[in-house]
Structure 1
C-alpha cells in the first residue's frame, strides 16, 4: 500500500512546528520538510510541493499565495494555514463542524483553507444560531477574545519570553482601528448581514483563548431564551468529536473561564451563561489557539483528506 507524502512548507514557524510535532512518528504518512539551507530556495520548494500528495502551507499570506502558484501537479492537494484564502470561494473552509456536510467537503477538496483562531470560536457559536433563525442575521454582534501571546507569532513570543526583554505588558487590547483581518472571515462564514465588532486582546500567558459574545434577548424574537439558544448549540454539536457544549447546570456553577483549560488538545468547549432576570446571555468558547485554532485543526483536516 502506497504511503502518502505530506510536505510542510514553513515548518519552522509557530504553527508549522506544532503540526510537525503532531505528525511526527505517524506511520500512515511520509512527512517531508526541507533542510534549513533550502527553505527559501524557490526551485527546491516547487519540487517539494509538486512531489507530495498534500502540502500544508504554514507561511505568511504573500508566501502562501506564492506557494499555491508553484503547484503544477494536478494531483497535489493543499491545506493553507495562513489567512490568504479564507474568504475565497474556490477554497473549502476548513472547519469540519461548520455544518452537517462540511467534513465531507473537506475530505473531497483539492484546496482547504484553515480557519483563523478567533473565527473558529466565533463561527462555532454564531453559525448554528443564525442557521436555525434564533439569532437574526442583522444582529449587532460584538466579539471579545483574549488569546495567549503565541497568537502574535514569533515576534510576540520573543517579546514575552526573551531573557533580556523588558517585562511585557500583562494584558494588551489591539485591533483598535477595527480592521482586524479575521473580521471579514467571521462575517462571511457566520452568515451575518453586517460586519461584527471584533475586539481582540493578548494576555501574558503562552496559549489558549477565551472568546465571548454578549446577547440581549430583547433584540431576539419573542419567546427566545437562553435555554433555546443552548439547545440549538447542543443539538448542532451532539455528534462531533472535538466541539462540546457545557450543560447549563455546569455553566451556572462556573465562576470563571480558564483560557488554558484545553491547551494541547484539538478540542473546543462552548458555554451559554444565562441571566434570565436581566434578559442577558453570554456565549463563550474556550480552546487552544495553537490547537483547534491552528495546528490541531490542520491535522484534523489532513486526516479527513487522507481518509477520502
Structure 2
C-alpha cells in the first residue's frame, strides 16, 4: 500500500482534482508553450508494445507472410511472452528492469518483416480511448503537441494514422520513441541508446525544446516515467496532469484525473486553458 500524499488536492470540477488554485492553474496553462504526452496506460488502457506482440503472433498463426518466417516469428514471440512475464514478476529497480524488457523485446522481433508490422498496426490502436482525438485537437489549438514514449517509433507512426480523422491528422510536432533498425525490410534491433526511464524522457524533451525554443511543458502522463518531466514543468512554470496516475506518483502531478478520462481533461481545458 502507498501512503496517500494527495490530501491537499481539491476538487476543481467533477472528476478533476488539483493542489493548485484556479488562478495558478490558469497562469501555468497560459505559460505552457508545448504539450508533452505519454501513450501507454494513458491514451490506451494497456501497453502498445504488448498489443503489438500479440498481434504479430496472431498474424503469424493466421498465415501472414512466408511460412518459414512465420515459424521463426511464432517461436520468438512465444519466448518473448514467457520472458517478459517472468521478468515483470522479479523484484528490482523498475528502470533497470525496463531496459532488460526492451532488450529482450528487440531481440525477439529480429527478422520479423516490416510488412507484418504494417498488417497489424491498425488493430494495435483500436483500444485508444475514443475521447483522445478530440482532446488532442483542443490541446493543439493552444500550443504545439508531441509524444515522448519509451515504445517503438513505428508504433507512434501507427498512432498518428489511427488518430487521423477524414484525412486530417493530429498536428504532432514531434514523436519521440525508440528507433527501430531495419535491414532488408526486416526488424534488426533497436538503435542505441535505448530509452527506458524518466531521465531518458526528460532528455528527449530537452533536446526538442532547445531545437524549437520551448521552455514550459504541459505534461500529460501517469507514472514514474513522467516524474522528471513533472520536475521540469514545476520549475519552468508549466503544468503536469496525471490521468489514472499510479498511487506512488500521484503527488508528482499538479492535476489528477481518473484513468481514461480524456473527456474530463477536455472539459478542464475549456474551463481553465483560456488565457
Q: Same fold (TM over 0.5)?
A: no
Q: Which has the higher contact order (CA 8 A, sep 6+)?
A: 2
Structure with a larger share of its residues in helix: 2
Give the structure-2-normalised TM-score.
0.30
